Amino acid sequence: MRIVGTSINRVDGVKKVTGALKYVDDIKFHGMLYVAVKRSPYPHARILEVDTKGAEALEGVKAVITGQDVPNRAGLYLEDKTFLATDKVRYKGEAVAAVAAETKEIAEAALAYIRVDYEELPAVTNAVEGLKSEAPLVHPDLGQYKWGPIFFPEPGTNISNHYKIRKGDIEKGFEEADYIVENSFYVPHIQHCPIENHSAIAQMDADGSITLWASCQSPYAVRKALSVAFDLPLNKLRVISPAVGGGFGGKAGTTLEGIVIPLAKKTKGRPVKLTYSREDEFVNSFVRQGMHATIKTGIRKDGKISAVKNTFIWDGGAYTEYGVNIVRAGGYASTGPYDIPNVWTDSICVYTNHPVGGPYRGFGMSEIHFAIEQNIDMLAEKIGMSPIEIRKINGLRPGGKNATGQIVDVCGLQECLEDVAKHIDFNRKESGSQPHKVRGKGIACGYKAPSMPNDVASSAIIKMNEDGSFHLLVSAQDIGQGSDTVLIQMAAEALSIPPQKITIKTGDTDYTPYEWQTVASRITYCAGNAVLKACEDIKEQLLELAQLRLGVSKRDLVLKDEYVVSKIIPGKGVAMKELALGLSMADGSGIHGPIIGRGAFIPPNVRNTDKQTGQGEKPVAFWTYGCQGVEIEVDIETGKIDVLKVASCFDVGKVINPKLVEGQVEGGIVQGLGSALFEELILENGIAKNPSFVDYKIPTADDMPEMIINFVENPEETGPYGARGVGEPCMVPAAPAIANAVYDAIGIRMNSLPITAEKVLKALKEKSSVL
Amino acid sequence: MKRDVCFILNGEPVKASIEPHVTLLHMLREVFDLTGAKEGCGGGECGACTVLVNNKPMNACLILAVEADGLDILTVEGLSNGLELDELQQTFIDHAALQCGYCTPGMIMSAKALLMKNPTPTEDQVVKAISGNLCRCTGYKKIVEAVMDISNRNLGS
Amino acid sequence: MNGTVKKRKAGVDGVKNFEYYKPKSLEEARELLLKYGEEASILNGGTDLIVRIHDGLSHPKAVIDIKGIEGLSEITYDEVDGLTIGACVTLNQMGENPVLLEKFRVLAEAGHTVGSCQVRNRATMAGNIANASPLADTATPLLALDAMVKVFGEEGETEVSIHDFFVWVRKTCLQVGDIVTGIRIPNYGSIEGIYQKHTRRNEVDLATVCATVIKIDGEVHIALGSVAPTPIRARKTEAFLKGKVLTEEVIEEAIEMVLGEIAPIGDIRASKDYREEIVKVLIRRGLRELIAAM
């Protein structure tokens, strides 16, 4: 292969380094109106009355909407939300009314003229509390909502999904154990913090159809949800995602899109724009769900884990239309990448009066692995085994069985583990750089599968131009991960043409073909497969025509360097471009017409698991396995942690672009580092206390550790060129590896994130007072 | 009341009449259609709005447009010359020192200011110079490598 | 409803409308400040004011930009008066001044920890202290150095001791119409010691606690930030340390004494207890540094 596997430059590089790329907030239309949103001051309250007359009377105000303008419930997996509150507000910040005005200043000033009367209700501000029978109900009407068949809400409670794994015989597993230990962990809410805040513009045409420009990862999924919410036929709703300034899951679902559309319906064709502030981004887009984990494990003296009983309680927030699937993923992956014969898992999604939990890079895996990977180290210590050895003994390998009973086919976990142990020099103790500093090393494994309905689809169209160049059309979105470049590389390889000859177009539901979503680390795999099929389609057409032109059987023809050539007769061939519009015959007639390739893909043979046991032969498209090791230094006087070095190894099946995949992993590590050391959206009585970069810190360049990035390549049988996704998996082990290194350094288990200097120092003080 | 401001923008003298509360960032984006500088936080914390004012990097969101009077402002759009990229821009591409691209204009302007002042910065100096520019995608490694590539080239020549 | 609704004009008292002035002289500036009284804000580096306006925390009617006033942008030094830093000198300009770096390094270092490079190209030390934040980075070295704040006010230009300058959280001794024109640091024979800032994140963060521990001509001066409503000097501890050899025992005693001089609060950045722990560490390290320097 000449293109796949090489570090070609990003195809979107020039537009990005020159500032020329237009993100949604950079788009300006003549006559555009600006939106401000009236938001709930309470975490939970009944709306008694909304009076918008004062705002409507203001000069410059063109439209005002309330919950009455958005009657239909919508949502990806569970239709539990309206885009503006109707009967109740369920978190502080929920949209109650919105104004479109000539300027942003007028729109903001108009909010003061909207009067909302509330009756405050008791709030659920802790997921565990929310499970109790006396807890207030966040969604009393849950039973009337619609949801997908793979989710299990419990009407009359705050449980919006209860996913179960029942594998083997849990009691027998515990009986076989020499030790039984139980540990609990907590992962707080964090936020994606893309540098681009959410932004959307809507415009209504004269015929009532709507065009929406949105900074969204998944234009087709957005179109679907909005069509339900606003009774819009899909051919009357066009969603354009021109560019996405960072997603990490936060722009996967629908948020502010549902506010601009009803406003646009009232502004007589004038476009309506809403761009979130950073504070909005923190509170009113999505957050990563908080999670309480309890893991009870039975282990034998020889290191083999015989039983695991997990309880994961997720703080889903006010709406869990998306979150229910995170909870499902947390359930079916609940053992981590280990082969454990007896498993009992309850993964429970709980409605609370917190900001809306949603997809976040890792999709539950970062959260559960923070618990699982520390638990493994604790077990190792219990039986006097090294963290490496216990992972070798229990780690999944081909032929093993995971939590769902699926037999593992390809799995490079053991190779990754060895690679990382070597590069972090795991067994070597390092001394601190100063007397008050101590060092520690930690390791963590991780795995992740795309968590998506089994039959989600991808498609691609590739059009050939008369000069032998191509346009590749997909709706896989390059949100920074490099899909534009990688998909072009795969197409160029398949068609034997230089990548420069392909221009990619994405993100317009009227013009680019269907893609379910740009999420789940699925694009290289799913969209890649669709692209390859489109290329196969083109190839077939070209060979057909070349066969006629050359008089050589197409079995003996091959695409090579922009030509269709004979495999047998040297020099015999025809330039591909000569076939671009079909074949011109000797008599002047023509056949076939323009070459356009079409490809469609659904991951093969992925099937539902059993409702009661969670067991199934192939519940996911593929699993990505990997491992990370870290070296840290702790200041034992202040508690401050420096992450010095991270070694990472993932089995990606096939590296399509080394430079880009390294960038994915480096970014995942540093994002994981942020979640480990700094990040928490602090919620007190349902109110976010730090919704700004002043007090919610994400890593800067100064926090970057030395990073050693390696890959192993055990091909994914159904993957394009053997590739599988890694964009999310690479973040998963980062935080638990740091937590394990903290234990190695100071002998203290940090059971909750973030591991702030203050927490570390407090624990050190407690430890020394006990000793 | 609107006030007139005259300043140099990407090498050209320009004029605007602007309300005092409007920030330099807003003026660049809305009046001059230069949308390379972005608003990521509006509070000087993320650096996405970084432009050079008299060759010094500053947060355009923390400057009133009226203050620009008499100053020399360089935005990312002024770095390249037609299709010819600045050396630093090309190096960002070559090192894959960008992903979503939203922080990239600000990041490049901070790095550019450093290189203008010190053509051969050390890695630590690079890190410190860009620590006011948040990037959520890259983990910063390739950004630092890109700037160091230029530093090393300058050191060699 | 019939007829048309008469539209009222929004934002007549709109939050963001203000007049901008750029006076050329102190007199002119003072006149404007007196005219608008409490509704005027001085614009210098703007890194605090413009955020406050953006966030709707400040609603000035007039913004008086003092950067057009001649003479406020210089750093001067002579052996009699010491070092004078004009109000409009930015923190990065301070960080590049050879005299400052050589003779008052602790101040340059403190200034360098404020915000990001971009912020330091705008922000000034005068602005840093005029906000009277309890955690202002440059406040503790100025307190430790017994700096004088130059103020243009009713009686023309006068000097106020930095010790009288901070009154409470976000409140200084300045009266309406007063303008800080510069900060003067007296000349000293020798200054040893360091500024330390404890933060959650190494770069671009506010101090959880900050401290300047220096020895000026043989006497230990200790100043702390983010431990009381204003930045403070630890006078009792200083008195205790006077004439003492800095042994480990003395240092530990001094630390206990400092704890009696502070009144930190718990907030989103740190608990009261943690702040106290960090104070101990910073004082210990600061005093040890003085031993090392000898």
Chain C: residue nearest B49 by CA?
A: C118
Smallest Cβ–Cβ distance between C202 and the set A695, A703, A762 belongs to A703
Q: What integer pLDDT is reported at residue C293 of this predicted model?
A: 75
Q: Are strands A624-635 and A641-651 parallel, antiparallel or unpaired?
A: antiparallel
Residues near A520 by beta carbon (within 8 Å), at least 6 away in sequence? A363, A450, A451, A452, A725, A728
Torsion-angle region of residue A683: left (phi > 0), alpha (psi -120 to 50) or beta? beta
Looking at B32, B53, B78, the residue that finishes a domain is B78
CA distance A282 to A194: 10
The size of the B-C interface in CB pairs under 8 A is 86
Give me the residue spans of the domains in chain A.
24-121+205-246+251-265, 290-452+608-770, 458-601
* C6 interaction partners in chain A (CB closer than 8 Å): 57
Q: DSSP assignment of C49-96, as one string?
A: HHHHHHTTS---SEEEEGGGSTTSS-EEEETTTEEEEETT-BHHHHHT
Task: Evaluate if residue C289 carries a pLDDT over 50.
Answer: yes
Looking at B52, B78, B104, the residue that finishes a domain is B78
Q: What integer pLDDT is reported at residue C7 of this predicted model?
A: 64
Length of chain C equals 294
CA distance A406 to A618: 6
* B40 interaction partners in chain A (CB closer than 8 Å): 195-197, 278
Amino acid, single-letter form, for residue A317: G
Mark yes or no for CB contact C55/B59 under 8 Å: no
CA distance C200 to chain B (A): 14
Is A132 in the B-facing interface, judged by CB distances under 8 Å? no
State the fold for domain A290-452+608-770: Aldehyde Oxidoreductase; domain 4 (3.30.365)
User: Alpha-carbon Rg of chain A, whole angstroms?
Assistant: 27
Residue B123: give the domain boundaries.
87-156
Residues B47 and B105 in one domain: no
Length of chain B equals 157
Residues B71 and B92 in one domain: no
Chain C: partners with 3+ C-beta pairs within 8 Å: A, B
The three-class DSSP label of residue B16 is strand
Is A61 in the C-facing interface, judged by CB distances under 8 Å? yes
CA distance B51 to chain A (A): 12
Mark yes or no for CB contact B139/A194 under 8 Å: no
Q: Are strands A470-473 and A458-464 parallel, antiparallel or unpaired?
A: antiparallel
> In chain A, positions 165-224, which contact chain C (CB-CB < 8 Å)?
none
Q: What integer pLDDT is reported at residue C3 of this predicted model?
A: 39
Class of residue A236 by CB neighbours under 10 A (exposed 0-12, middle 13-18, buried 19+): middle
Q: A24-121+205-246+251-265: which CATH number, 1.10.1370.30, 3.10.350.10, 2.60.40.10, 3.90.1170.50? A: 3.90.1170.50
Look at chain B and report how many structural domains it folds into. 2
Residues of chain A with pLDDT under 50: none
Chain B: partners with 3+ C-beta pairs within 8 Å: A, C
A229-251 per-position pLDDT tens digit: 999 999 999 999 999 999 999 99
Residues B105 and B74 in one domain: no
Mark yes or no for CB contact A700/C7 under 8 Å: no
Is A110 in the C-facing interface, judged by CB distances under 8 Å? yes
* A25 interaction partners in chain B (CB closer than 8 Å): 35, 38-39
Q: Please give the distance of CA A193 from its chain centroid, rounded to a whole number.
A: 13
Mark yes or no for CB contact A195/B75 under 8 Å: no
Residues B123 and B64 in one domain: no
Q: What integer pLDDT is reported at residue C4 of this predicted model?
A: 47
Is B57 in the A-facing interface, judged by CB distances under 8 Å? no
Class of residue A131 by CB neighbours under 10 A (exposed 0-12, middle 13-18, buried 19+): middle
Residues near B55 by beta carbon (within 8 Å), at least 6 away in sequence? B72, B74, B113, B116, B117
Is C198 in the A-facing interface, judged by CB distances under 8 Å? yes
Residues B74 and B27 in one domain: yes
CA distance A699 to B108: 18
Q: What integer pLDDT is reported at residue B83 of this predicted model?
A: 93
Amino acid, single-letter form, for residue B36: G
Domain A458-601, CATH 3.30.365.10 — does that match?
yes
* B142 interaction partners in chain A (CB closer than 8 Å): 659, 662-663, 666
| Host H or E run for residue C287 | helix C272-293
Residues B113 and B58 in one domain: no
Mark yes or no for CB contact A278/B40 under 8 Å: yes
* B49 interaction partners in chain A (CB closer than 8 Å): none
Mark yes or no for CB contact C5/A757 under 8 Å: no
- Supply the mean pLDDT for chain C: 94
Give the C-alpha distances (Å, rounded to integers) separating A323 from A196, A451, A484, A559, A771: 23, 11, 28, 46, 43
Mutate to test the interface with A, among C268, C271, C275, C280 (most CBs of A within 10 A): C268
Mark yes or no for CB contact B43/C65 under 8 Å: no
CA distance A649 to A446: 10
Structure tokens at A275: 């761009």
Is C43 in the B-facing interface, judged by CB distances under 8 Å? yes
CA distance A396 to B102: 39
Task: Evaluate if residue C12 carries a pLDDT over 50.
Answer: no
8 Å CB contact between B69 and B92: no
Q: For the domain that residue B101 is a member of, what is the CATH number?
A: 1.10.150.120
Phi and psi angles of residue A729, each rounded to the nearest 5 degrees, phi first: -50, -35
Class of residue A122 by CB neighbours under 10 A (exposed 0-12, middle 13-18, buried 19+): exposed
Q: What integer pLDDT is reported at residue A770 of this predicted model?
A: 72
Q: What integer pLDDT is reported at residue C54 of this predicted model?
A: 87
Smallest Cβ–Cβ distance between C14 and the set A59, A61, A109 belongs to A109
* Residue C6: pLDDT band with limits 50, 70, 90: low
A453-491 per-position pLDDT tens digit: 999 999 999 999 999 999 999 999 999 999 999 999 999
Q: What integer pLDDT is reported at residue C73 of this predicted model?
A: 97
Chain A: residue nearest B101 by CA?
A: A16
Percent of chain A that is helix, strand, coil (3-state, to 5): 30, 25, 45
> In chain C, positions 231-290, which contact chain A (CB-CB < 8 Å)?
268-271, 273-274, 277-278, 281, 284
CA distance C88 to C182: 8
The three-class DSSP label of residue A154 is strand
CA distance C36 to B115: 44
> In chain A, positions 630-659, which contact chain C (CB-CB < 8 Å)?
637-638, 640
CA distance B151 to chain C (A): 19
CA distance A106 to chain C (A): 6
CA distance B64 to chain C (A): 8
Q: What integer pLDDT is reported at residue A71 of this predicted model?
A: 81
CATH topology match: A24-121+205-246+251-265 vs A458-601: no
Buried b (16+ CB within 10 A) or exposed e, A718-744: bbbbbbbbbbbbbbbbbbbbbbbbbbb
Residues near B41 by beta carbon (within 8 Å), at least 6 away in sequence? A278, A692, A693, B48, B61
8 Å CB contact between C200 and C162: no
Looking at B24, B47, B78, the residue that finishes a domain is B78
C94-112 per-position pLDDT tens digit: 999 999 999 999 999 999 9
> In chain C, positions 127-186, which contact chain B (CB-CB < 8 Å)?
none
Structure tokens at A766: 């407690």
Class of residue C15 by CB neighbours under 10 A (exposed 0-12, middle 13-18, buried 19+): middle
Percent of chain B that is helix, strand, coil (3-state, to 5): 40, 20, 40
The structural domains of chain C, ordered by start, are 19-68 (3.30.43.10), 75-185 (3.30.465.10), 191-293 (3.30.390.50)
Is A536 in the B-facing interface, judged by CB distances under 8 Å? no
| Host H or E run for residue A672 | helix A658-677
Q: For the domain that residue B69 is a member of, what is the CATH number?
A: 3.10.20.30
* C8 interaction partners in chain A (CB closer than 8 Å): 57-59
8 Å CB contact between A659 and B96: yes
Q: Is the pTM of this model over 0.80?
A: yes
What letter does residue A318 receive in the DSSP assignment?
A: S
Phi and psi angles of residue A260, each rounded to the nearest 5 degrees, phi first: -75, -30
Smallest Cβ–Cβ distance between B64 and the set C17, C20, C118 belongs to C20
Is B137 in the A-facing interface, judged by CB distances under 8 Å? yes
Enter the ipTM: 0.99
Residues B61 and B30 in one domain: yes
CA distance A116 to chain B (A): 28
Asked if omega into C264 is within 30° of 0 (cis), the reply is: no
| Host H or E run for residue A274 | strand A272-275
Residues B16 and B70 in one domain: yes
Residues B11 and B56 in one domain: yes
